[in-house]
Amino acid sequence: MASLHLPDGLTSRPATLEDVEAAVDLFNDSDREFLAPGSPGYHEVHQTRGEWTEPGFDLAADTVLVFDGRGRLAAYQEAFTTPPHVRAIIWGRVHPDFRGSGLGWALLTWGEERARELVDRAPDGAAVDAQLWIDTANTGAATLIEVMGFHRTRYFRDMEIELLEPPAAQEWPDGLELRPFVRRQHHRAAHDAVRESFRDHWGFADADPDEAFERAVHHLDANPNYDPKYFHVLWDGDQVAAVSLCYPNAENDSGKGLVEVLGVRKAWRQRGLGLAILLHSFRVFWENSIPVVTLGVDAGSLTGATRLYEKAGMHVEHTMATYEKRLREGEDLRNRG
């Protein structure tokens, strides 16, 4: 069991589902200095609850909450893997009032130790990495992370657009059809198309398709913002060509929509489908009185996604840096481009 050595006066315990609202408040308090003034915060209760109840996530072993002597929540840390277990995610937040106390060091040390406990879940002979990410403006965290042996591997960007007029209606190439999304009929096909589209994504590692779909079902069930009218699936006969899976109420803002995932399968690329289905998504948001749209993208996207989003009129809001540390040498099963 990973050990946690805290500064004097602090105590810890694993998180429980009853802690989710307090934890989300902590996350947003911690991140708010890196957000635009007045932002309600990126973290949402339903999202965190969905993550904490995901198949394979062990709240008792994968999380820790830290409290001060008055019972105030000071920090949170988690470390976990998902199939195929070749990447351990280490993620945490320290409340601004408790920074500079050595708490960040203690939590990151705990997170790495917990990640090392999970290495044996990976396939025999496979390399395993620990991964975390921070806002590039968080220079204090970057210094700590680098001192502890992590190295920066990638940048990811949050991009945004404010729609000032309705995007033009899109015309699809002959034979392609955008159909209303019926979850019980279409979810698995759309999910499998996303998985195929993202094989070219940096860091992708293939997992058992049934396990991957189980997690997708769980997160969709846990998301109260799901509305099938924002799930756009472009069909070529009985095959999915492209998808844009979106949600309203992004970042707790009723005026902002999220393009959570956009993908075009390889056989249908170079036909302008990515831009077309993105602009269609914008139009549906506009028609539902949602004038701002956001999404996340790999800054070094191997498929040119950043250029596509810029062409659609989106701009960078802020940038996150990804850091990694090799926990076990072996064959790298993740896409490195």
For the chain, domains (ranges, CATH) are 11-157+321-328 (3.40.630.30), 160-319 (3.40.630.30)
Q: Average pLDDT for residues 333-337, to the nearest whole number?
A: 91
Q: What percent of the chain has pLDDT over 90?
A: 89
Contact indicator for 286, 217 with CB cutoff of 8 Å: no
Q: From CA 149, how far away is CA 246, in angstroms rounded? A: 37
Q: From CA 168, how far away is CA 119, in angstroms rounded? A: 50
- Its sign, for the CA torsion 99, 101, 105, 110, is negative
Whether pLDDT at 40 is above 80: no
Q: Average pLDDT for residues 189-212, to the nearest whole number?
A: 96
Range of weakest confidence among 25-39, 80-94, 240-254: 25-39
- Strand segments, DSSP code E, in the chain are 11-13, 63-67, 73-81, 87-94, 128-135, 151-162, 176-179, 231-236, 239-247, 256-264, 292-298, 315-328
Q: Average pLDDT for residues 248-268, to the nearest whole number?
A: 94
Q: From CA 29, how far away is CA 44, in angstroms rounded? A: 12
Q: From CA 160, how far away is CA 146, in angstroms rounded? A: 30
